[in-house]
Amino acid sequence: MAQTTHPPGTGGHAASGGEGASRRDFLYLATGAVGAIGVASAVWPFIDSMNPAADTLALASIDVDLAPVQEGQAITVTWRGKPVFVRHRTAKEIEEARTVNLGDLRDPAADDTRVKKPEWLIVVGICTHLGCVPLGQKPTDPRGDYDGWFCPCHGSHYDTAGRIRKGPAPANLVVPQYAFTSDTAVRLG
Ligand code: FES
């Protein structure tokens, strides 16, 4: 246990180094407090100067240029803090998505209800089991048994329409709100 002293007249406790140590502690704390206030006042004008409307708008919607995404390729964009998978499907992938018997699906949904143009599939890239980001975006990624995405967390397999086909996930990958603004561009949100 550290020794403590009770300086006359204080009635309280002081650190073992005596008044000198206490004074240094006080100076240190006081300097720290000034530093924190200094940082706070440097940051605030920056935050305050941001336009709330523009900030909110940027979070609410983003434009995605599809032109560079070749058939068979995929890109991931971040929208409202979430990964969104954009896949330029091949004819084979579209065919696979469209020839499925809906009665075999855990979360039945026809392919044409999940896309606005057959060649572009856009889904939120978050597994509906416990929220991992499934693999399948990179050419070297495993895509699972149904050519879509594979979530290695607990083994969920999604097909080329982002529908759950195998594993513990209860539902299809979510299709976000979006619209085509041209033949090669979409706006999410
Ligand atoms: S989070 Fe994807 S399978 Fe569990």
Q: Is the pTM of this model over 0.85?
A: no
The span from the CA of 16 to the CA of 24, in Å, is 13
Strands in 156-159's sheet, in edge-to-edge order, are 147-151, 156-159, 164-166
| Two structure tokens written together for 45 | 């004008």
- Within the chain, strands assigned E span 62-65, 74-79, 82-88, 120-124, 147-151, 156-159, 164-166, 178-182, 185-188
Distance 147 CA to ligand 1 centre (A): 17
Indicate the top mutation candidate among 106, 153, 157 to test ligand 1's pocket, ranked by most ligand atoms within 8 A of CB. 153
Pick the closest to residue 81 from 115, 43, 126 (CA basis). Answer: 126
For the CA of 131, the nearest atom of ligand 1: 1
| Two structure tokens written together for 167 | 């594993």
Tens-digit pLDDT string for the chain (189 aa): 344 444 443 333 333 444 455 555 544 444 444 444 444 434 433 444 444 455 555 568 999 999 999 999 999 999 999 999 999 999 999 999 999 999 999 999 999 999 999 999 999 999 999 999 999 999 999 999 999 999 999 999 999 999 999 999 999 999 999 999 999 999 999
Catalytic residue, chosen from 6, 13, 154, 157, is 154
Residue identifier of the C-alpha nearest atom 1 of ligand 1: 130
